Each structure stands twice: as structure tokens, then as C-alpha cells.
């Protein structure tokens, strides 16, 4: 998989998953990992950045089978960002496909 394709998209995926329900970091890594290669390091950096930028709030919750988990909750700002990124993404895919399929 081309690592460059992921630039910006991982952030969108995180926001998109969190728009459905609160999740913790490790869980996000596993969900996204089903579709593409991603390391925990990458995910935690994204989570830290987006938290700093006000897209999430967080809370700790104990786990029955392991250490406590930090859950992420989308803020209003986060929801808006998610919708904006999703819209941009779909437009982008259409543009790229048009460029590639086009017979000039």
C-alpha cells in the first residue's frame, strides 16, 4: 500500500469512526487496520494532534481485561470537520478518476 495515499485520509477515518461512537486508541488502530496497514504510533500522534486542535474531548475508563482505556468523543467542531473532510474526499476522488480516465 502506498503510504502517501494515506496522508490526510487517516485523520478523516478517525473522525469518521468517532462520529458513530466513542472509541479508544487501540480500538481505532484495530478497526482501521482491517482496511489498511497502520501503526499505533501513527494513530496516537493523530489523536494527540486532533485533541490539541479541539476536535475531541477524552475520558478514561477502566477495562475488564487490561489497562485503562482513553476514550475519544467528537466535539461539535469535530463533527463539522468530519463532514467537511468527507465532502472534500468524495469530490477529490471524482476529480482524480476523471483525470485518469479522461481520453485527451
CB 31 within 8 A of CB 23: yes
Contact status: 11 vs DNA (CB under 7 A): yes
Q: Using CB under 8 A as the criterion, which residues of the chain lie in contact with its own copies when the complex forms?
A: 1-9, 11-13, 16-17, 20-21, 31-32, 34-36, 85-86, 88-89, 92-93, 95-96, 98-100, 103-104
The candidate with the shortest Cα–Cα distance to 8, out of 98, 100, 84, is 84
CB 70 within 8 A of CB 43: no
Residue 91 CA to residue 1 CA, distance in Å, equals 22
Q: Choose from its own copies, DNA, none: what does 93 bind? Cβ within 5-8 Å by kind.
A: its own copies
Q: Choose from its own copies, DNA, none: what does 44 bind? Cβ within 5-8 Å by kind.
A: DNA
List interacting residues with DNA (CB under 7 A): 3-4, 6-11, 24-27, 37-42, 44-49, 62-70
Amino acid at each position: 500500500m502506498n503510504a502517501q495515499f494515506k496522508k490526510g485520509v487517516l485523520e478523516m477515518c478517525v473522525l469518521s469512526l468517532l462520529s458513530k461512537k466513542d472509541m479508544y486508541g487501540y480500538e481505532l488502530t484495530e478497526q482501521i487496520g482491517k482496511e489498511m496497514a497502520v501503526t499505533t504510533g501513527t494513530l496516537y500522534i493523530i489523536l494527540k494532534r486532533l485533541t490539541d486542535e479541539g476536535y475531541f474531548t477524552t475520558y478514561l475508563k477502566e477495562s475488564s481485561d487490561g489497562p485503562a482505556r482513553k476514550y475519544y468523543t467528537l466535539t461539535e467542531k469535530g463533527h463539522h470537520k468530519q463532514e467537511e473532510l468527507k465532502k472534500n474526499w468524495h469530490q477529490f476522488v471524482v476529480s482524480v478518476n476523471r483525470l485518469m480516465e479522461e481520453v485527451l
